[in-house]
Structure 1
């Protein structure tokens, strides 16, 4: 990325800015795409992770050293797992070229796309690339999305800590404030699904809670571009328990058939509860 473009985005950082200011950043986002900081599709984002770490991320993401390192740094920066659950880890990508990405609340889900952007509206950044000089924002929420100021400020401080500690690695990974269908800092676990919808002449991504079609989400042909931010360290396991967890996770993630995978997960859950 050109130094001037990077500096401009880093100066914005976690600040809320107007729609007019976001529109003025389009040239910077063109640089993000051109230099591979953001991928032009979900598939290419996953391929970038594979190129960097030598394998495709598993469903848990625990086979990717960068995801594990981000989780462990979040564990270090947060005082409780509820706070750590206020972030999620993503493969940064876009479907809209160099247009800034805007998130709006829409009935029972979230619409994600290139706007429209109201120049007088204030937008708050929620997704970031990690750079050692400061976080680089690449997704923004408009005023229709409720974001608790206190918890959002806490997540911003964690994102700054992640950037200063891990940004020099230039991993093809980003972090997002985990606000969809839940309070930012909470123990609630949410799985979401994206679908492309047509809004006039523009294709938008519509995000819904996946509870209503969890069977499809667990299927073998569903792409995954996001992972939770919770380190195994929150479980307070001893070394032998950690080894059992790693082996169990590895076995489950190698099972190709989704129904068999669910059966094993249920058996493990019952065994743990007993």
Structure 2
């Protein structure tokens, strides 16, 4: 399957973002979480269809490292819904937004929305972002193959490549945070940082989780009771805590591994 070129984005992005560009990230996530859930958790267990998407990777025989090369996402934009979002590597962080397209520049799609009519990119990386070419081509083949599963699982969800601060296909964990207002280093674009650094910069700001891992519980040796216990612990972490406090606890857990 071929994907529309970035030059075609103004023709299809308004349809992709027809509704999602009009609501906040918090309102956006509330439309996809299970009824009765007050928030989005880091595991995404409250996202209808997430387990079906994750199990697809396991049942297709993909390694844990490959599954970790993808994130379930909620396609949305903070900027012009008719203009493509471009991600650039800027030293120790990424810049994201409606950046001017350079003539002759190479832009590779990394985030995708799924429709009956096809798969539509909504975020691209420029040449400053390094992704192994063989891994990237394999990732595109997987994006094409998972289209029907994505639509059946939850048509409001998308998939993005998990390349930020890590090799695409690896088991490394790299939690990130995207700020688009006063927490950004740019007036007209957002900043993507590693979560520990972002927690300091964004202390006192509210935020919402809009991406979740693609790793099925089937990859682990955990029993059903252990999985239930893990979910209960996560619920305790999120209950009655501010976003910054939740982020601090999660980062401490990551640091312990």
Q: Give the length in aligned residue pairs.
A: 248
Would you tell me which structure has more helix in proportion to its own residues? 1
Question: SS state of the match for residue 203, structure 1?
Answer: coil
Please list, as runs of the form range in 1=range in 2, the aligned pairs for 1:1-274 lying within 5 A after superposition: 12-13=2-3, 17=5, 22-34=6-18, 36=19, 41-50=24-33, 55=37, 56-97=39-80, 98-132=82-116, 134-168=118-152, 170-196=154-180, 197=184, 199=186, 203-214=188-199, 221-254=206-239, 256=241, 258=245, 262=249
**Offset at 1:66?**
1.9
The answer to whether the Cα contact below 8 Å between 1:103 and 1:140 also exists between their aligned partners in 2 is yes
Distance 1:120 1:99 in 2: 18
Identify the range of structure 1 (154-163 vs 91-100) with the bigger mean alpha-carbon deviation: 154-163
Deviations 1:14-41 (A, max 9, x none): x7x4xxxx2343022122222x366654
Deviations 1:114-159 (A, max 9, x none): 1110131121110001234542211111111111111112222222
The answer to whether the Cα contact below 8 Å between 2:116 and 2:151 also exists between their aligned partners in 1 is yes
The answer to whether the Cα contact below 8 Å between 1:181 and 1:190 also exists between their aligned partners in 2 is yes
Gaps of 5+ in 1: 1-10
Identify the range of structure 1 (77-86 vs 208-217) with the bigger mean alpha-carbon deviation: 208-217
Deviations 1:151-182 (A, max 9, x none): 11222222222212232455321110000110
Question: Once superposed, which parts of structure 1, at least 4 consecutive aligned residues long, lie more than 4 Å away?
Answer: 37-41, 213-220
Distance 2:238 2:211 in 1: 16
The answer to whether the Cα contact below 8 Å between 1:104 and 1:144 also exists between their aligned partners in 2 is yes
TM-score (norm. length: structure 1): 0.77
Identify the range of structure 1 (179-188 vs 40-49) with the bigger mean alpha-carbon deviation: 40-49
The answer to whether the Cα contact below 8 Å between 1:134 and 1:160 also exists between their aligned partners in 2 is no
Question: SS state of the match for residue 140, structure 1?
Answer: strand
